[in-house]
């Protein structure tokens, strides 16, 4: 169905897509003949948009800034006319060309999905946390497939994540047994939430479990190495009951940072805050006397691995050379 103005627009359909007063205000003075619609699917040449009158496909125009799933647009019968200013933008460093690759726009929360059937990679979680803060959204870790492991494995995974990313919200769940899904439902209700994580982590299965029906494609993990097969190939926004929009993303092999050093320091505030107490301004935190970082590691109040992650991610953020912060969101 096309987004055709002759049809009676259904305001409830817009609200189910995450429409609220903010968007209504931004779209109030729209050009005649245009309608608001949200990007629910993106492939490289076209977007599928959903609005009050249904869904339709629109080609991507080079004159517009790059679009992402979750964007709110003004569209007419055959083209995208305008992009409404975003509340958040999740991106990563493009692994082949450098620069930014857009993952999802206007997301409130990002669930970093980890399958408990494989070792939790805390460094990956830390990267995602930085990138989610950069986006202007709130991160949480979703430990899924709890039915496949014992309680001790779960407790160890939680402790590892807490040590690497203190204070991060965690939800343990299983799409198979439904354990923890009510807690997850409460968090996603009324929000736009993106699931990110490696292939085979269980993102699409979670989307289906939350929806109560098969809306996202899933696939068996390869036997032997617990690796996924990259079943999800396009980023897609699914509309669920309870005014929740879920963005399922293809498994990412790499999560190169596309952010600035200040964002890394904000996320690692417990480490970054210490350096002001070092005796020397140019302290390298390796051998200097009166080094607050080394002191904290010695006292056991700072985890050495977390300190090293902070340094690595800072270096990477510096090298990525993103736009200045005021131009990050369009």
Ligand X SMILES: Nc1nc2c(ncn2[C@@H]2O[C@H](COP(=O)(O)OP(=O)(O)OP(=O)(O)O)[C@@H](O)[C@H]2O)c(=O)[nH]1
Shorter beta-carbon distance to Zn ion: residue 58 or 285: 285
d(CA 82, CA 73): 6
- Tell me whether residue 246 or residue 296 sits nearer to Zn ion (CB atom): 296
Shortest separation between residue 188's beta carbon and ligand X, angstroms: 16
Q: How far apart, in whole angstroms, are the C-alpha atoms of residue 209 and residue 304?
A: 38
Q: Among Zn ion, ligand X, none, what binds residue 145 when CB lies within 5 to 8 Å by partner kind?
A: ligand X
> To the nearest whole angstrom, how small is the minimum distance from the Cβ of residue 123 to Zn ion?
23
Q: Which range of residues in 45-53, 83-91, 224-232, 257-265 is near ligand X by CB under 6 A?
A: 224-232
By CB under 6 A, is residue 147 in contact with ligand X?
A: yes
Phi, psi of 47 (to 5 degrees): -120, 145
Q: How far apart are CA 185 and CA 190, in angstroms?
A: 10
Angle between helices 181-188 and 203-211 (to 10 degrees): 80
Regarding 271 and contact with Zn ion (CB under 5 A), the answer is no
Q: State which of positions 165-184 bind ligand X (CB under 6 A).
A: 174-176
Largest CA distance in the chain: 75
CB of 89 or CB of 201, closer to ligand X: 201
Least distance to ligand X, CB of residue 120, Å? 14
Is 194 among the residues that bind ligand X (CB under 6 A)?
no
Residue selected from 93, 228, 260, 309 as contacting ligand X according to rule CB under 6 A: 228
Specify the long-range contacts of residues 177-185, CB closer than 8 Å, at least 24 apart.
177/146, 177/147, 178/209, 179/146, 179/147, 180/146, 181/209, 181/210, 184/111, 184/142, 184/210, 185/210, 185/242, 185/244
Interacting partner of 285 out of ligand X, Zn ion, none (Cβ under 5 to 8 A depending on kind): Zn ion
Stretch that binds Zn ion, among 137-145, 233-241, 278-286, 310-318 (CB under 5 A): 278-286
Q: Which is nearer to Zn ion, 156 or 277 (CB)?
A: 277
Q: What minimum distance in Å lies between the beta carbon of 206 and ligand X?
A: 7
Question: What is the C-alpha separation between 95 and 81, in angstroms, rounded?
Answer: 30
Rounded distance, CA 80 to CA 103, Å? Answer: 19
Q: In the complex with ligand X, which residue's Cβ is closer, 214 or 262?
A: 214
Stretch near ligand X under the rule CB under 6 A, chosen from 33-41, 127-135, 161-169, 194-202: 194-202
Angle of the 151-164 helix axis to the 304-320 helix axis, nearest 10: 60
Helix spans in 111-251 (H): 122-135, 151-164, 181-188, 203-211
Distance CA 173, CA 89 (A): 27
| Residue 230 partner contact from ligand X, Zn ion, none using kind-dependent CB cut-offs of 5 to 8 Å | ligand X
Burial of 178 (0-12, 13-18, 19+ CB in 10 A): exposed
285 binds Zn ion (CB under 5 A): yes
Residues making up the chain, counted from first to last: 330
Copy the structure tokens of residue 7.
Answer: 């049809």
Q: Which two tokens stand for residue 252?
A: 């990412």
293 binds Zn ion, rule: CB under 5 A: yes
278 in contact with Zn ion (CB under 5 A): yes
**What is the C-alpha separation between 271 and 293, in angstroms, rounded?**
7
Phi, psi of 228 (to 5 degrees): -85, 175
Q: Quick check: 111 binds ligand X (CB under 6 A)?
A: no
**Could you tell which of ligand X, Zn ion, none binds residue 291, using a CB distance below 5 to 8 A set by kind?**
Zn ion
Nearer to ligand X (CB atom), residue 165 or residue 205: 205
Write down the least CB distance from residue 126 to Zn ion, Å. Answer: 21
Site residues (CB under 5 A) for Zn ion? 278, 283, 285, 291, 293
Site residues (CB under 6 A) for ligand X? 144-145, 147-148, 174-176, 197, 199-205, 218-221, 228-232, 250-251
């Amino acid at each position: 169905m096309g987004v055709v103005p002759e049809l009676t627009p259904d305001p409830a359909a817009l609200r189910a897509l995450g429409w609220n007063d903010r968007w209504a205000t931004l779209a109030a003075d729209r050009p005649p003949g245009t309608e608001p619609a949200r990007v629910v699917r993106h492939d490289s040449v076209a977007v599928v948009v959903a609005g009050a009158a249904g869904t339709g496909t629109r080609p991507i125009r080079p004159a517009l800034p790059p679009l992402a799933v979750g964007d709110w647009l003004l569209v007419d019968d055959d083209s995208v006319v305008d992009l409404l200013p975003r509340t958040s933008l999740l991106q990563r460093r493009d692994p082949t060309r450098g620069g930014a690759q857009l993952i999802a726009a206007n997301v409130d929360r990002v669930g970093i999905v980890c399958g408990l059937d494989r070792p939790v990679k805390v460094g990956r979680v830390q990267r995602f946390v930085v990138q989610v803060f950069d986006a202007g959204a709130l991160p949480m870790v979703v430990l899924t497939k709890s039915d496949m492991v014992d309680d001790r494995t779960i407790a160890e995974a939680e402790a590892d994540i807490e040590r690497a990313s203190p204070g991060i919200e965690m939800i343990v769940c299983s799409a198979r047994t439904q354990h923890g899904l009510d807690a997850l439902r409460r968090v996603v209700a009324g929000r736009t939430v993106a699931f990110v994580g490696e292939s085979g982590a269980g993102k699409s299965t979670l989307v289906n479990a939350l929806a109560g029906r098969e809306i996202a494609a899933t696939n068996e993990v390869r036997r032997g190495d617990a690796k996924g097969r990259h079943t999800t190939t396009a980023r897609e926004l699914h509309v669920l009951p309870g005014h929740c929009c879920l963005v399922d993303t293809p498994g990412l092999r790499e999560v190169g940072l596309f952010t600035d050093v200040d964002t890394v320091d904000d996320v690692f505030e417990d480490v970054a805050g210490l350096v002001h107490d070092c005796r020397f301004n140019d302290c390298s935190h390796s051998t200097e006397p009166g080094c607050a970082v080394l002191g904290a590691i010695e006292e056991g109040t700072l985890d050495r691995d977390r300190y090293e992650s902070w340094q690595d991610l800072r270096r990477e953020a510096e090298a990525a050379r993103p736009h200045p912060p005021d131009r990050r969101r369009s």
